[in-house]
Structure 1
Amino acid sequence: MENWNFSPPSPSNLGDHDVPLVGNHLKNKKIALLITGGIAAFKTPLIARSLRREGANVVAFVSEEATRYVTLDALEWSTNNPVITQLTSAAEHLSDRTPFDAYLVAPATYNTINKLRYGIADGVITSTLASALGRMEQGTTKIMIVPTMHGSLHNSILTESLTFLDSLGVNIMPPRQDYGKNNIPDERNITVELCRLISNSPLKTIPILVTAGPTPVPIDNIRRLTNRFTGRLGAMIAEELYLKGADVTLIQGESSYHPPDYLPYQLAKTYQDYFKLVMDNLSQKSYQFGIFSAAVADYQPETILPGKTPSGEALQSIKLIPTLKVIEEVKNKFPSLYMVTFKYQEQVSHEELMNIAHERINQGYPVVVANRGEEMEEKQDHIAYLVTANKSPKKMIGKQEIAQEIVRHCEVISNPTDEI
């Protein structure tokens, strides 16, 4: 624990009920958060604020049983909206005037799931869900439930109800299973899956391969040659795609950075692992896009030394030979893949960097994300340029903007008639 000099926190522009935005995937979306009477209800203020961090407008519907585990004040504070605890002449369960884009039932108890399956509408939650089902069948909303209960309640009746609801089109998020229970997942994981569910991006369900991070080459059984890049930007690109609903696979080079657990990724410990994973993935699935942001090793030892080279002695010379250029191998073997490649340079001017990027485009690569170390050091931020054949290079500042612009470019390519 660090020492505190008892100084107050720095001033902030955020109000007491405000949340810092981490994205805009739920911007202008109205979400009904339906809270049932399980102990996990105490986490729902965190879920509400997590949804709002993606721009959502959240309204909480709360059963009487749920108020044993979470207070109405906490929910009103975290949603910044009045909480609905009973149905009145305003017909809150119908929400005709301001319909919801999605209904999230978290936690979803054994009792509520089975009532939903059999069409029982005997309270604020079940009546709201009955109307939501009708809207879902009309194609105007989505429903996601998060089953949360003790393992002994996960019986054949529950399984039958979940199977039936799944067949209707209700999205069922897998619980976090620990200690013999179906536990509620982390609030960020819930938010991510809801973003994917209601996304209308042209990239939804499109297979996309993303690579990130370093690709070390071994010197001996212990030592490796690597670089300082972590793969965080590539993982942010993959996360942006995942939130859009894309069928994304991330190949992550081993480093100090680990992607979020909800991202589907494969770990490449060496350059050879990386090369094999890229080729295997592209051979096994028809990917539409490949985004190659990995800092791939350019050289490898001609011979890997056996065992562990003794320390404290002069190391014999290591002859380095060029590695195969992965993007060249991919381009030759998978010519229909739309490739986004990266080019990092140092000790070049901006004009020279653009020339290098266009040289690669002339070789048949449609997009190059180019940057140079000097500019990044000067601005103390990650700066890159999205370079294509027919448009002026687009300057991007910060990893988040770079990730968003790359994804936006892929959306336009995927469906050029849509305005993104």
Structure 2
Amino acid sequence: MIEIPDPSRFENMLNGKTVVVGTGASISIYRIPDLIRDLRREGAHVRVIMTPNSRDMISPKVMEWASENPVLTDISGRIEHISLFQKDHENIALLVSPASYDLIGKMANGISDDPVSLSFSFALGNGNPVVIAPAMHMAMMETPMNRKNIETLEESGVLTVPPGMEGDKAKLSQNHQIIDYVARSFYGKELHGKKILVVSGSSRVKLDSVRDILNGSTGFSGYWFCRNAFRLGAQFITCIGNSDYEIPPYVDFHPAHTNQEYLEEIMKALRNHHYDAVIVPAALSDFSMKDSENLEKLQSGSRQIIELLPVEKVISSIRKNYNGKIVSFSLMAEADPQRIREKYSQADPDIIVHNILMKDGKNFGTGKNRYTLIERDKVITPGDLTKQEMTLLVLREMERIPGSQ
């Protein structure tokens, strides 16, 4: 049976990284074997450390099966809380998940009386990346003591994955969001402090009073630009548009569906924030209907002649109001980099990500495409890439280019 690729996963991004998962006693521990498998699917080598109370809730044998490594349940004379983290510390992270109320309190107050809290005390002092994913009852999550403890940990450099709030429960976050924070703990220096604006999805044009013309786009590239910008450490991420995929809660999302809505939201964002880059993978319309203000319903069963008028590209409007880095996207049969740059001369983007138009429509969605990155001084031809790989490459290449502002 062929396994269908999971669009929420970036296979191999955690290659060469080790994630030590420390488990606290929470009923959500039943999700940890699946989280371990997802970490491994992204390339991580996983080890597991368990507190005594968490061992009572799920067998260490299950964790051993998931990680395919021995599980640490006690500290021996081999001082495993040190040896697991000591070598190549920048590539070995501690993920405490689920982080229970008592375990958070121990870590924040220097109490080290179980394998997980003891490992935390060494990993934090040794400079290893540390991430916690809390899970508990909402009332416990909101106590002044717990809030202060989490604040103490964050001030010490620990990343906290916000739990999913549901009723009176602060539930363990979704696996892919936990992994986003783990990746951020490894790669977060690359875009540290940066503000990124992503314009994603598709726009529609009114055909008549009840029908629209819609450009093809799932918003998958924009979704992964947001996630990879976060994984690389961006301080603030805004996404404007629409998507078939759930935009993560750490993104400042503003819906838009028509060119006018896009422009209004983009200009508002540019006024309110100083972005380091604007990335526009959105499929936005280059046309509008003639007499668009007075459209009547077209009569079914009769031949219709429709007149479309060209409109200014949204990316050109962005350039008129923004002098920073711009990444635009090109989808056409043309493959000559010089001609493609000429087409976008008014917007003068720093990078044009060109994707050759396919007749079968496979440019859209989760598959691989053959991309060309056209910059002012060079052309990069990385070959066939997934959207996950392409967005990561573009973000890193964008950061390499000197800023315009």
TM-score (norm 1): 0.82
Deviation for aligned residue 1:131: 2.0
What is the aligned counterpart of 1:329 among 293, 303, 317? 317
CA distance in 1: counterparts of 2:45 and 2:278, whole angstroms: 34
Give the secondary structure class of the aligned counterpart of 1:341.
strand
Could you say if the C-alpha distance between residues 225 and 68 of structure 1 is closer, same or farther in structure 2, counting changes exceeding 3 Å?
same
Alignment of 1:12-27 (within 5 A): 22-27=10-15
Indicate if the aligned counterparts of 2:190 and 2:233 stay in contact, CA closer than 8 A.
Answer: no
Aligned residue in 1 for 2:67? 79
Aligned residue in 2 for 1:153? 140
Per-residue displacement from partner, 1:89-130 (whole Å, max 9, x unpaired)? 011112364365321111111111122222211121222222
Aligned residue in 1 for 2:168? 180
Say what the alpha-carbon RMSD is for the aligned residues.
3.0
CA distance in 1: counterparts of 2:77 and 2:332, whole angstroms: 66
Alignment of 1:119-158 (within 5 A): 119-135=110-126, 140-154=127-141, 155-158=143-146
Is the counterpart of residue 117 in structure 1 residue 108 in structure 2? yes
Per-residue displacement from partner, 1:59-86 (whole Å, max 9, x unpaired)? 1100121122222122112112211000
Indicate if the aligned counterparts of 1:232 and 1:259 stay in contact, CA closer than 8 A.
Answer: no
CA distance in 1: counterparts of 2:173 and 2:16, whole angstroms: 25
Aligned residue in 2 for 1:388? 375
Deviation for aligned residue 1:376: 7.5
Could you say if the C-alpha distance between residues 219 and 374 of structure 1 is closer, same or farther in structure 2, counting changes exceeding 3 Å?
closer
Aligned residue in 2 for 1:70? 58
Indicate if the aligned counterparts of 2:207 and 2:295 stay in contact, CA closer than 8 A.
Answer: no
Aligned residue in 2 for 1:369? 353
Aligned residue in 2 for 1:418? none
What is the aligned counterpart of 2:339 among 342, 356, 359? 356
CA distance in 2: counterparts of 1:196 and 1:292, whole angstroms: 23
CA distance in 1: counterparts of 2:105 and 2:99, whole angstroms: 10
Deviation for aligned residue 1:293: 1.6
**For structure 1, which runs of at least 5 residues remain unmatched after alignment?**
1-8, 13-19, 416-420
CA distance in 2: counterparts of 1:191 and 1:260, whole angstroms: 15
Could you say if the C-alpha distance between residues 276 and 187 of structure 1 is closer, same or farther in structure 2, counting changes exceeding 3 Å?
same
Indicate if the aligned counterparts of 1:239 and 1:263 stay in contact, CA closer than 8 A.
Answer: no
Aligned residue in 2 for 1:16? none
What is the aligned length?
A: 388
187-196 vs 143-152, which moves further: 143-152
Indicate if the aligned counterparts of 1:41 and 1:70 stay in contact, CA closer than 8 A.
Answer: yes
Give the secondary structure class of the aligned counterpart of 1:94.
helix
Give the secondary structure class of the aligned counterpart of 1:287.
coil
Could you say if the C-alpha distance between residues 127 and 378 of structure 1 is closer, same or farther in structure 2, counting changes exceeding 3 Å?
closer
**For structure 2, which runs of at least 5 residues remain unmatched after alignment?**
none
Indicate if the aligned counterparts of 2:279 and 2:327 stay in contact, CA closer than 8 A.
Answer: yes
Aligned residue in 2 for 1:105? 96
Paired amino acid for 1:40 = S
Aligned residue in 2 for 1:17? none
What is the aligned counterpart of 2:326 among 317, 322, 339? 339
Paired amino acid for 1:398 = L
Deviation for aligned residue 1:44: 0.9
Could you say if the C-alpha distance between residues 374 and 110 of structure 1 is closer, same or farther in structure 2, counting changes exceeding 3 Å?
closer
Give the secondary structure class of the aligned counterpart of 2:82.
coil
Aligned residue in 1 for 2:259? 271
Deviation for aligned residue 1:187: 1.3
Paired amino acid for 2:238 = T
Q: Percent identity?
A: 24
Could you say if the C-alpha distance between residues 356 and 223 of structure 1 is closer, same or farther in structure 2, counting changes exceeding 3 Å?
same
Aligned residue in 2 for 1:410? 398
Indicate if the aligned counterparts of 2:201 and 2:283 stay in contact, CA closer than 8 A.
Answer: yes
Indicate if the aligned counterparts of 1:375 and 1:383 stay in contact, CA closer than 8 A.
Answer: no
Alignment of 1:209-288 (within 5 A): 209-246=197-234, 247-253=236-242, 257-262=244-249, 264=251, 265-288=253-276
TM-score (norm 2): 0.85
Paired amino acid for 1:114 = G
Alignment of 1:16-95 (within 5 A): 22-95=10-83
Deviation for aligned residue 1:39: 1.1
Indicate if the aligned counterparts of 1:49 and 1:78 stay in contact, CA closer than 8 A.
Answer: yes
Per-residue displacement from partner, 1:176-201 (whole Å, max 9, x unpaired)? 11130111111111111121133145
Question: Which structure: larger Rg?
Answer: 1
Indicate if the aligned counterparts of 1:25 and 1:243 stay in contact, CA closer than 8 A.
Answer: no
Could you say if the C-alpha distance between residues 201 and 271 of structure 1 is closer, same or farther in structure 2, counting changes exceeding 3 Å?
same
Give the secondary structure class of the aligned counterpart of 1:329.
helix
Give the secondary structure class of the aligned counterpart of 2:132.
strand
Alignment of 1:159-178 (within 5 A): 159-178=147-166
Give the secondary structure class of the aligned counterpart of 2:58.
coil
295-304 vs 268-277, which moves further: 295-304
CA distance in 1: counterparts of 2:358 and 2:105, whole angstroms: 61
Could you say if the C-alpha distance between residues 315 and 359 of structure 1 is closer, same or farther in structure 2, counting changes exceeding 3 Å?
same
Indicate if the aligned counterparts of 2:208 and 2:298 stay in contact, CA closer than 8 A.
Answer: no
119-128 vs 220-229, which moves further: 220-229
Could you say if the C-alpha distance between residues 88 and 251 of structure 1 is closer, same or farther in structure 2, counting changes exceeding 3 Å?
same
CA distance in 2: counterparts of 1:242 and 1:162, whole angstroms: 21
Could you say if the C-alpha distance between residues 221 and 201 of structure 1 is closer, same or farther in structure 2, counting changes exceeding 3 Å?
farther
